[in-house]
Structure 1
Amino acid sequence: MKAVYIVEPGKVEIREIEKPVRKPGEALLKVLYGGICGSDLGSYRGTFAYFDYPRIPGHEFSAEIVEVDEDNEYGLKNGMVVTCNPYFNCGTCYSCQKGLVNACMDNQTMGCQRDGAFCEYITMPLERIFDGKGIPAKVLAAIEPFCIGYHGIQRAGIKKGDKVLVVGSGTIGVLAAIAAKALGGEVYMADVAKAKLDYAMESFGFAGTILNDGPDALDKATKEITGSININGNEAAYGFDVCIEAVGLPSTFQNCIDAAAFGGKVVIIGVGKKNLDFNFTMIQKKELDVYGSRNAMNKDFIELIDIVKEGGVNLEKVITDEYPYEEAAKALEDFSTNGADMLKVILDFTK
């Protein structure tokens, strides 16, 4: 079979490799669509923290079951179109013992710490496979990134009426914003890319957007949106109840700390490799709750498949670009160069 490899930063190859053979308790899957994640893009650029070369990328995907044990306990059958939980946990570390398998101390995510799904066939343990319940295969490939945003939003405990700032209007940021809006949040998105902000507003109708194109832009907008107070001659913004970091840069983490209200919450979803030197006492001064959010849980996949199936969210609007998998090198190069104008990029393995 054929597989997509990122051989080194900036270099992609299509290689011929052995088709996998399933073991008992696994299913053989024919990959249908694969979504290019920000982590895949970071791996292509050489900026992602959890990637070794060469490796098959990809952990957002839909697939068809072509071989599975009959009468298995999960009700999986040949011909079923599915998606999967791609975060492999060790099962024995302290986090796993507590049931926090998404935060496994030896986590191995497909396409990051182990080979991924950008190939014609893969095998998966049955407990990681979820029936797509008739959701179109292309849309089903976007369930995993939706889970990432959804899990982070749940960490924040958003209540109806909370003013929520999402920094980053890429796929994860948009999907986190959708989840926050569904929970009753008054959601604003901030980014340096106007085209992405405009698309997000047009497609999903958030409360507003902030073009973060200067050193004072976010602070000015925060004061206008949340209100402000004069303290010792200085105007200070009230701030957002919840700030979601969905980029993975030191500057965007600082944006969230600065824009959060006293007693507010900050959730870090973005992944980066750079350090930030900042006045950490601001966390104490504002009494901020700062949460990390890593991966997602099986229940997130199950809940979101039902939400999308019932028409609660139109995930198809997130998909802006599609390439045959043989053009993976072009897809990654285009995404790297023109990312400000692209949201979710999909590779087609069906033809």
Structure 2
Amino acid sequence: MKAIEITNPGEVKIVEREMPQIGKGDVLLKIKYVGFCGSDLSTYLGKNPMVRYPRIPGHEISAVIEKTGENVPEGFQKGQAVTVVPYTNCGQCSSCKQKRFNACRFNETLGVQREGAMAQYIAVPWQKVLKHEALSEVQLALVEPLTVGFHAIDNGKVTDIDIVVIFGCGMIGSGAIVRAKLRGATVIAVDIDNVKLKIAQQLGADFTINSRDQDLHEELHEITNGDGPNVAIEAAGNPLTYRAAIDEVAYAGRVVCIGYAGTEVSFTTKLWVQKELEIMGSRNANPSDFEAVIKYLKSSHIDEKILISKTVSPEDAPMAMKEWSEDPGKIMKILVQF
């Protein structure tokens, strides 16, 4: 079968691989669309410490069931449209024992620690397959990336009385914008790209700030009557936005960090302690986040195509990845159509 492989940093190839073997509890999926994720870009750039080369990337999946193993429940039938929860969990570590499976100590994500879905077929355990035929093939590929932002808002305990600032309006930040608005919060979207800020408005952001052209502190001061936002979501993975989240969040505020910064980030502890901040990480997503995103996509009137920068064939994927690496700030989502 045809697959996309990141052979070495900066090198993407179309390769031939053997068809997956399915176990008794597995489902063989025929891939329709797979999204390139920021982790895939990091792999391409040689900056992902969890990856060994060569690696088939991809964990944002739209597929149909091709075949099922003998122990798969009868509800899984050939031709059903599905997406996939791409994470593993051991069930025994301290996180799993708290049912926080998203933060499993031994998690292996498709396309990162193990071979991903950028191929014509993939086999996965039936427990990781989500059937949702009410969603289109394109919508199914957007479920997983949106769940990550949904999960961050859940971690931040956002309610309808909160003002939430979201740093970074890519796919992860977009998910956070949507979830915060569904919770009834006032949302401030911050980015340095006006196209992304326009999309943030379409997704429901009440205010947008281009922190390259506008004074971030003054804008937030005016919007929040000098208090600062109650919740800050760091979805950019930049040392500047990590510091801004601490600086700008309100006293007794909450800071949720999703992005991986490429370098170490130093903080002065004064504001951390003085504001009595809750600062937490946010990783992957839980089953409830997948359910919430699917419900949103089924009922929303938003055209999900605003989230997709381009759709390419497998043959065009190497060039698409190269172009993305040269100007990452301009891309929301690249889908590969098999």
Output the TM-score relative to the length of structure 2.
0.95
> Is the 8 Å Cα contact of residues 70 and 77 (structure 1) preserved in structure 2?
no
Residue 245 of structure 1: aligned partner: 234
Residue 231 of structure 1: aligned partner: none
Letter in 2 for 1:208: F
Aligned ranges 1:152-167 → 2 under 5 Å: 152-167=152-167
Residue 215 of structure 2: aligned partner: 217
Residue 280 of structure 2: aligned partner: 291
Decide whether aligned partners of structure 1 residues 153 and 74 sit closer, same or farther in structure 2, where only a CA change above 3 A counts. Answer: farther
Residue 4 of structure 2: aligned partner: 4
Residue 234 of structure 1: aligned partner: none
Q: Distance in 2 between matches of 1:92 and 1:58?
A: 26
Decide whether aligned partners of structure 1 residues 185 and 21 sit closer, same or farther in structure 2, where only a CA change above 3 A counts. Answer: same
Q: Distance in 1 between matches of 2:49 and 2:160?
A: 35
Letter in 2 for 1:204: L
Q: Distance in 2 between matches of 1:75 and 1:310?
A: 24
Q: Distance in 2 between matches of 1:282 and 1:301?
A: 35
Q: Distance in 1 between matches of 2:70 and 2:8?
A: 41
Q: Secondary structure at the match of 2:310?
A: strand
Residue 334 of structure 2: aligned partner: 345
Letter in 2 for 1:211: N
Structure 1 position 227, deviation (Å): 1.9
User: How high is the sequence identity, in percent, across the aligned residues?
Assistant: 37
Residue 244 of structure 2: aligned partner: 255
Residue 257 of structure 2: aligned partner: 268
Aligned ranges 1:114-153 → 2 under 5 Å: 114-153=114-153
Q: Secondary structure at the match of 1:88?
A: coil
Structure 1 position 312, deviation (Å): 6.3
Q: Write out per-residue CA displacement over residues 273-292 of structure 1, whole angstroms, 9 at most, x where no aligned residue.
A: 42111112321110111121
Letter in 2 for 1:327: D
Q: Distance in 2 between matches of 1:48 and 1:180?
A: 29
> Is the 8 Å Cα contact of residues 20 and 123 (structure 2) preserved in structure 1?
yes
> Is the 8 Å Cα contact of residues 65 and 81 (structure 2) preserved in structure 1?
yes
Unpaired runs of at least 5, structure 1: 229-237
Residue 47 of structure 2: aligned partner: 47
Residue 203 of structure 2: aligned partner: 204
Residue 304 of structure 1: aligned partner: 293
Structure 1 position 3, deviation (Å): 1.0
Structure 1 position 326, deviation (Å): 1.8
Decide whether aligned partners of structure 1 residues 161 and 130 sit closer, same or farther in structure 2, where only a CA change above 3 A counts. Answer: same
Structure 1 position 254, deviation (Å): 0.8
Q: Distance in 1 between matches of 2:255 and 2:52?
A: 30
Q: Secondary structure at the match of 1:122?
A: strand
Q: Secondary structure at the match of 1:174?
A: helix
> Is the 8 Å Cα contact of residues 199 and 306 (structure 2) preserved in structure 1?
no
Residue 101 of structure 2: aligned partner: 101
Residue 325 of structure 1: aligned partner: 314
Q: Distance in 2 between matches of 1:308 and 1:174?
A: 13
Q: Secondary structure at the match of 2:253?
A: strand
Structure 1 position 315, deviation (Å): 3.0
Structure 1 position 106, deviation (Å): 1.2
Q: Secondary structure at the match of 1:287?
A: coil
Structure 1 position 88, deviation (Å): 1.0
Letter in 2 for 1:182: L
Decide whether aligned partners of structure 1 residues 302 and 199 sit closer, same or farther in structure 2, where only a CA change above 3 A counts. Answer: closer
Q: Write out per-residue CA displacement over residues 168-205 of structure 1, whole angstroms, 9 at most, x where no aligned residue.
A: 0111111111111111111111112222212332x324
> Is the 8 Å Cα contact of residues 308 and 314 (structure 1) preserved in structure 2?
no
Higher strand share: 1
Q: Distance in 1 between matches of 2:250 and 2:50?
A: 32
Q: Distance in 2 between matches of 1:50 and 1:312?
A: 38
Letter in 2 for 1:24: K
> Is the 8 Å Cα contact of residues 63 and 137 (structure 1) preserved in structure 2?
yes
Q: Distance in 1 between matches of 2:23 and 2:261?
A: 36
Q: Distance in 2 between matches of 1:100 and 1:109?
A: 15
Residue 87 of structure 1: aligned partner: 87
Letter in 2 for 1:213: R
> Is the 8 Å Cα contact of residues 108 and 114 (structure 2) preserved in structure 1?
yes
Q: Write out per-residue CA displacement over residues 136-184 of structure 1, whole angstroms, 9 at most, x where no aligned residue.
A: 1111100001111111111111111311100001111111111111111
Q: Distance in 1 between matches of 2:294 and 2:133?
A: 8
Structure 1 position 314, deviation (Å): 4.3
Structure 1 position 337, deviation (Å): 2.4
> Is the 8 Å Cα contact of residues 48 and 272 (structure 1) preserved in structure 2?
no
Q: Distance in 1 between matches of 2:116 and 2:297?
A: 25
Aligned ranges 1:21-32 → 2 under 5 Å: 21-32=21-32
Q: Distance in 2 between matches of 1:222 and 1:302?
A: 33
Using the TM superposition, name which of 268-277 and 286-295 deviates more.
268-277
1:175 aligns with 2:175: yes
